[in-house]
Every structure is written in structure tokens, then in C-alpha cells.
């Protein structure tokens, strides 16, 4: 089976979300290639409304695949500024392109220093190695 892709420019949570810094206090969030592979075919993605606030590692949504339903965790505390509405009609984008079209939410951070506690690409690669 192909190795899961772990892009070097992103940060990661232990719950398999990826984080892209898109500004000083803004991030983009999705789930990793490894996570989509483990979940298999994604059927539904339930995302929050713009304006909703979450604390660090609070569930911001759910993802349902053929074999299991999982929660999606907010990598840091913040307010949702944008959600990927396209996933409602095309949840398979999470499988096809987890780091691109499969992105989920953008968050305005309360405290950007919270990102320091996330996993590096190396740290995450280690986590998913058996």
C-alpha cells in the first residue's frame, strides 16, 4: 500500500487533522491523507457554520465514511471564518485531494502560539508509522 503523503509545509494534530498557516492568526484545516485512507470512502462531512467558536481540540464537525463515523477536532481555539461548502455535494474530495479540494474550515485564532504544540511533519510521520 502506498505510503501516506505528509506534506512538509503543514502542521498536524494527533487526531489526524492538518493545519496550514494562511495568515498571522488564521489557519486552514483538513484531515490527512493517512486519515482519509484509514476511513475509506467518505460519505458525509458535517461542518460548523461561519462564526462558530471552538476551543482547542473541541469537536468542530463529524466525518462519516462507509466504515465509521469520526469527529473532527479543532487544532486550536478560534472562530470559523470560512467553511468548504463544496464538501456537502462532493465529500469524496476528502479522499481525492485531502490537502487541496478536501479542506474543511478556516479558523481565526485566539492565540497563535497554540500552534507551537502541534506535531511537525516528522512527528506526525512517526505517529502513523506502525
Partner 1 sequence: MKEKNPKRTDSPLIFERSRPGRRGTAVPEPDVPTRPLEELLPKAMMRKEPPSLPEVSENEVVRHFTEISLMNHHVDRGFYPLGSCTMKYNPKVNEQTARLPGLADLHPFQPTSAVQGALRLMWELGEMLKEIVGMDEITLQPAAGAQGELVGALLFRAYHTAQGDPRKKIIIPDSAHGTNPATVRMAGYEVVTLKSNEEGRMDPGALESALGEDVAGVMLTNPNTLGKFESDVEEIARLVHEAGGLMYMDGANLNALIGVARPGDLGYDIVHLNLHKTFSTPHGGGGPGAGPVAVKEHLAPYLPLPILTRAGDGGYALDWERPESIGKVHGFWGNFGVLVRAYTYIRMLGRDGMRRTGMAAVLNNAYMSARLEGTYSLPYGRGMHESVFSGSFLKEHGVRTLDVAKRLLDFGVHAPTVYFPLIVPEAIMAEPTETETKDELDRFCEAMLQIAEEAKADPEFVKNAPYSTPVRRLDEALANRRPNVRYRPEGSD
Chain contacts with partner 1 (rule: CB under 8 A): 1, 38, 40-44, 64, 66-69, 91-92, 130
CA 38 – CA 85 distance, rounded (Å): 23
Shortest distance (Å) from residue 41 CB to partner 1: 4
Shortest distance (Å) from residue 40 CB to partner 1: 7
CA 41 – CA 76 distance, rounded (Å): 27
Contact 127, 119 (CB under 8 A): yes
State the Cα angle at 25 between 20 and 27, rounded to 5°: 25
Exposed, middle or buried, 66 (CB in 10 Å: 0-12/13-18/19+)?
Answer: exposed
Shortest distance (Å) from residue 67 CB to partner 1: 4
Nearer to partner 1, 64 or 82 (CB): 64
Nearer to partner 1, 42 or 107 (CB): 42
Shortest distance (Å) from residue 69 CB to partner 1: 7
CB atoms within 10 A of CB 117: 11
Nearer to partner 1, 96 or 111 (CB): 96
Nearer to partner 1, 1 or 113 (CB): 1
Query: 53 has which bridge partners?
Result: 79
Amino acid at each position: 500500500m502506498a505510503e501516506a503523503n505528509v506534506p512538509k509545509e503543514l502542521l498536524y494534530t494527533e487526531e489526524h487533522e492538518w493545519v496550514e498557516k494562511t495568515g498571522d492568526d488564521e489557519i486552514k484545516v483538513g484531515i490527512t491523507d493517512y486519515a482519509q485512507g484509514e476511513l475509506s470512502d467518505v460519505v458525509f462531512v458535517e461542518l460548523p457554520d461561519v462564526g462558530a467558536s471552538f476551543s482547542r481540540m473541541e469537536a468542530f464537525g463529524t466525518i462519516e465514511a462507509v466504515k465509521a463515523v469520526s469527529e473532527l477536532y479543532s487544532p486550536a481555539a478560534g472562530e470559523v471564518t470560512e467553511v468548504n461548502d463544496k464538501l456537502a455535494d462532493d465529500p469524496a474530495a476528502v479522499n481525492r485531494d485531502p490537502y487541496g479540494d478536501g479542506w474543511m474550515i478556516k479558523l481565526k485564532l485566539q492565540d497563535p502560539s497554540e500552534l507551537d504544540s502541534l506535531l511537525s511533519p516528522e512527528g506526525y510521520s512517526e505517529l502513523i508509522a506502525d
